[in-house]
Structure 1
């Protein structure tokens, strides 16, 4: 079966009206990613003020409650992504995102007004439901709207908006900390997240439903009408309709988890998706995103300087994501992951050595920050965009929502484990924590090399057929097919 041209091949031609429409749809959908990024980044600046005693208008956080408040959003995101996957399969990606915008607003208002640690933790959990739901739904929605030649770059814009939201949080945190004299400045930091939530809800009212979801619900005339808005030729429309119709006709009557348990190749894909979530989170990326000010304060840097230095995290992550979007159109998913993990292992080991053996002082602070920025450069350039792209590509149409939701939910659980334990591990074990991360990443490197398939250069329907053959093939034919899969045939 021949493959379409590789992603990026058509980008030199002027964009058609339909392509511009899809780009606008992607911008609207990624307002959810912008809110996701802001809500995960803002906590790094709010924590030092929330840790102030209640008498000084803080919440009196301890290392334990810091971990609880930080990780509450993450564990909420695990439940949110799991629930959103099921809802997206049942009610559609568009309707699910509209509902998530309302949950975003509720969570933002609840955290900004929280009077106690308990209320804060509960409302951070609610906010996490929306963050997780968006993380599972937005990439799938964009992937199903985009054609194969533009899928990688449009889906990768999701990661761009995530890191853009984090950078906005870091900059606003630093500005508010510097210029505001209000003891409630942390509440303002948290309240700003309402803006992307409102933009998401309003914007999704004006975009169409996913044609692939419509086809999966046997609403073929509506699916064809949407395809005519987002594809440049009737030939493309009819080719995609034929593929979707063929797959729908070939589907088993089983749905949901019954189909997963009954289908070995789908179970393998789910385990690969869960393993990718472990890989992404146990790089330690969110330990840096959440706790960089605390890490830098441990080297002797003041609170204001630490918050300002954290802006570097967002700038590097944003620039790295731009580079990653360019690379992802030219290189396979597997090579990018393998190269990124090698650089992550090196940066973790260097950071651990710096914190362990360098004497305290300004030089140590800057070297530690350089190690963190080196880590983020390769994490955001080579690993994070590929992870979210794979989550939108790997799973078959009839189960895409529930399987993506499950895999992303596990990723959030791993994120929560890191967020909850990192402050305690840093207090208990100090610099050795980063050597542990490096060792875990060596195991992740072996997992990617052995298990992760190459998905570049195929439509979602072609990819589904291909993975079914290669992961579910007979013992006689599986060997060559799997080798071809690993090469990215």
Structure 2
């Protein structure tokens, strides 16, 4: 979730429309010009204005937050719908939610706008909660091991590209005007409609067919469509081994993910990378960006903010190529360290801004650096690394709980950041610096490198660590007992 003023330039236009629909007078008394029949100036009662402001704030807050709430709720259904319908059919089915949600927002002016927008965002949130789990799951399962990270990063690339397009189209002379904003809100439905038809051309996940359904020949046909004439004997052998492992254990539930020592460590890693992404401070950067550009003397800060969106997209493209060369873990750590340094520099720049005017330029450069480091590591990697950490059996449940964690953190940041920013002022970035330092330590000691490893190899590594953790204390106790008997 990014700064709404930066991402949606038409935000104030929609708020003004809410005011008109709800019959709420402008909050600024200087903008009010009411007269009685004798031409005398009159003002609404202050209490009435406060009630109107509270009502507007309530509806607007609900319009913003309902999206993340929808994502939180639907993320739990990722595993169920993915296993029940299959990866491709599940993505086809949830696309209907996107089309309906965006259609409601696009038709907002033909009914009670605030109700239609809230309903549309809720349904779109349900869609995003499902698709943000199904897409990485599908991409991870169909990708060759050597390209799994690069193809997984494309999910984040699609997100930032969508943000950039919305920034450009949201300019007031395009679709950000009072007349055109419903079209901007409903435009995402066109992308969902296009995806609906393109998914009809996509093969089902061979791993799902082979391991979950036991359709060996159909899985081989889908694998041939994906790999062409390349030898897939090794992949078939990996799937067979994974299938045997899955057959030896019961269905993995969310509860078992936390109770089983074999899964506990990868679950903790999966949850922490989601927390890293949302609590990294990227929201704070976008929140302050427009003000920083204004102080730096930029005449049209909205264009500078779009420039940040361009950098956002360009470095996500670069991450596509870096992730398979440098590895996930090292790239993730490098991104966190860069963001940590940028957060400290941003704090210095904002604190000294009133003393040294040139500090505004330092802050402006730091905005771009922070975004760059985010997009080469903490931005794209959490979306696909969860699918890499688990074998076919526990993967759907793991992606569901990781998605819920991501959306919950998204909601918390959206609801609480404004209060933290008001409390801490420019020092808010030191809060994120402390968090980033903790994330660096956790990643260094706990997150494994998954580059070039099969799903079974990654799972086996966690199982070995789990057994070592259990055997360690037991071995120490036996050794102490042996020493005691020798002394006796």
Aligning the two structures, in what range does the TM-score lie when normalised by the shorter sequence?
0.7 to 0.9
Correspondent of 2:455 among 443, 460, 469? 460
Alpha-carbon distance between aligned partners in 2 of 1:306 and 1:186, rounded to the nearest angstrom: 20
Structure 1 residues 146-161: aligned runs within 5 Å: 146-161=143-158
Aligned to 1:270: 267
Alpha-carbon distance between aligned partners in 1 of 2:101 and 2:344, rounded to the nearest angstrom: 37
Instruction: Give the SS at the match of 1:383.
Output: coil
Is the contact made by 1:395 and 1:404 (CA closer than 8 Å) also made in structure 2?
no
Deviations 1:361-388 (A, max 9, x none): 9966654432221100010012222222
Instruction: Give the SS at the match of 1:384.
Output: coil
Whether 1:436 aligns to 2:400 is: no
Say if 1:293 and 1:48 are closer, same or farther in 2 by CA, change over 3 A.
farther
Whether 1:49 aligns to 2:13 is: yes
Is the contact made by 2:265 and 2:462 (CA closer than 8 Å) also made in structure 1?
no
Aligned to 2:405: 410
Is the contact made by 1:42 and 1:190 (CA closer than 8 Å) also made in structure 2?
no
Shift in Å, 1:455 = 0.7
Alpha-carbon distance between aligned partners in 2 of 1:298 and 1:71, rounded to the nearest angstrom: 28
Give me the CA root mean square deviation.
Answer: 3.2
Structure 1 residues 28-39: aligned runs within 5 Å: none
Instruction: Give the SS at the match of 1:207.
Output: coil
Aligned to 1:484: none
Larger Rg: 2
Is the contact made by 1:77 and 1:409 (CA closer than 8 Å) also made in structure 2?
yes
Alpha-carbon distance between aligned partners in 2 of 1:92 and 1:181, rounded to the nearest angstrom: 39
Alpha-carbon distance between aligned partners in 2 of 1:235 and 1:87, rounded to the nearest angstrom: 31
Structure 1 residues 169-208: aligned runs within 5 Å: 169-174=166-171, 177-179=172-174, 182-208=177-203
Alpha-carbon distance between aligned partners in 1 of 2:284 and 2:344, rounded to the nearest angstrom: 15
Correspondent of 2:219 among 220, 223, 240? 223
Question: Any unmatched runs of 5+ in structure 1?
Answer: 1-36, 479-489
Whether 1:111 aligns to 2:111 is: no
Alpha-carbon distance between aligned partners in 1 of 2:359 and 2:60, rounded to the nearest angstrom: 25
Alpha-carbon distance between aligned partners in 1 of 2:74 and 2:352, rounded to the nearest angstrom: 42
Aligned to 1:80: 74
Is the contact made by 1:299 and 1:360 (CA closer than 8 Å) also made in structure 2?
no
Correspondent of 1:380 among 375, 380, 394? 375
Say if 1:472 and 1:51 are closer, same or farther in 2 by CA, change over 3 A.
farther
Correspondent of 1:335 among 317, 330, 335? 330
Instruction: State which drifts further: 272-281 or 69-78.
Output: 69-78
Aligned residues: 437
Alpha-carbon distance between aligned partners in 2 of 1:48 and 1:297, rounded to the nearest angstrom: 19
Instruction: Give the SS at the match of 2:8.
Output: helix
Say if 1:62 and 1:54 are closer, same or farther in 2 by CA, change over 3 A.
closer
Alpha-carbon distance between aligned partners in 1 of 2:268 and 2:167, rounded to the nearest angstrom: 35
| TM-score, reference length from structure 2 | 0.80
Alpha-carbon distance between aligned partners in 2 of 1:83 and 1:405, rounded to the nearest angstrom: 7
| TM-score, reference length from structure 1 | 0.80
Is the contact made by 2:203 and 2:225 (CA closer than 8 Å) also made in structure 1?
no
Alpha-carbon distance between aligned partners in 2 of 1:39 and 1:256, rounded to the nearest angstrom: 38
Shift in Å, 1:263 = 2.5
Shift in Å, 1:340 = 0.9
Alpha-carbon distance between aligned partners in 2 of 1:185 and 1:443, rounded to the nearest angstrom: 45
Correspondent of 1:397 among 392, 405, 421? 392
Shift in Å, 1:179 = 4.6
Alpha-carbon distance between aligned partners in 1 of 2:459 and 2:179, rounded to the nearest angstrom: 51
Is the contact made by 2:91 and 2:131 (CA closer than 8 Å) also made in structure 1?
yes
Correspondent of 2:163 among 162, 166, 170? 166
Aligned to 2:96: 102
Say if 1:62 and 1:474 are closer, same or farther in 2 by CA, change over 3 A.
same
Whether 1:124 aligns to 2:121 is: yes
Deviations 1:427-466 (A, max 9, x none): 4432222221222111211211221111111122333333
Deviations 1:271-302 (A, max 9, x none): 2111111111101223445x456645885989
Question: Any unmatched runs of 5+ in structure 2?
Answer: 25-52, 474-488
Say if 1:234 and 1:182 are closer, same or farther in 2 by CA, change over 3 A.
closer
Bigger relative contact order, structure 1 or 2 (CA pairs below 8 A, ≥6 apart) = 1
Is the contact made by 1:69 and 1:121 (CA closer than 8 Å) also made in structure 2?
yes
Is the contact made by 2:3 and 2:283 (CA closer than 8 Å) also made in structure 1?
no
Deviations 1:149-176 (A, max 9, x none): 11111111112111111111111112xx
Instruction: State which drifts further: 55-64 or 464-473.
Output: 55-64
Alpha-carbon distance between aligned partners in 2 of 1:86 and 1:209, rounded to the nearest angstrom: 16
Alpha-carbon distance between aligned partners in 2 of 1:116 and 1:294, rounded to the nearest angstrom: 28
